[in-house]
Amino acid sequence: MTEHFAPLVLGAGPGLLLAHGAGGGVHANFGPLLDDLSRTHTVVGADYPVAGGTLDELADGLVATAVDAGVEKFTVLGYSLGTAVAVRVATRHPDRVTGLILTAGLARPDARMELALDVWAELLKGDRVRLAKFLMLTAVSERFLATLTPEQLTAAVAGLAESVPEGTAKQVELVRSVDTRAELASIAVPTLVIATTLDALVPPRHSRELADGIPGAELVEIESGHGITDEAPDAWLTAIRKVLR
């Protein structure tokens, strides 16, 4: 299914492979970081196929995208669902992975997240404005919401409602099936786990589970909701840069 991965390749230097979250995309989840990261690295990413795929298929497809772009080895930067994809890349293609950066991620969903996934899946079938309001409530921190004027909040909801990518429903279902706990102990590359401490969608305990399970993993906490791309891009980039250096 690799032909369904539309690659984004930027910059030059050591490889950096991006794995985005459910209902996101390369630009949606990493956009503010791309210019800076591509100054020093060959950044490769691809939005997941609309037809979906298993965790194995997404991992293999992203690796094939990088190799087709001439990037044989790479650090993997995963966000949300992309952290599970990144872990699977590391365990299926250990000869290609030089490091992992796992942000706002999970080893498995818990009961609370299952409920959120239920609501997300149901709202995808209907009014996208309601879906956007739900995602703003769960994926955006209370602190960040408090900074928005009523006009900005209305615009943010409208923009989110219009930007739900095709294939989101399959990605939400894929999150339900994630369970990488048995793989974590086999990861043998430097790993940074970034916990978003104000995250109501994927609370920081999930990041701590990842860090506890991966030998030698470093855990960094950033005050942000799940939408770290919008809430704390500078702090996120600073943490990533320390690893890439």
- Supply 152's token pair: 């900005």
Give pLDDT, residue 4. Answer: 64
Give pLDDT, residue 1. Answer: 39
Q: Which residues of the chain have pLDDT under 70?
A: 1-4
H/E element holding 194? Answer: strand 191-196
Give pLDDT, residue 213. Answer: 98
- Are residues 210 and 221 in contact, defined by beta-carbon separation less than 8 angstroms? no
Give pLDDT, residue 245. Answer: 81
Give pLDDT, residue 2. Answer: 43
Q: Which of 53, 202, 139 is nearest to 193 (CA)?
A: 202
Q: What pairing do the DSSP bridges indicate for beta strands 42-47 and 6-10? A: antiparallel
Task: Tell me how far apart the alpha carbons of residues 194 and 178 are, in angstroms, rounded to a whole number.
Answer: 19
Q: Across-strand partners of 79?
A: 103
Give pLDDT, residue 3. Answer: 47
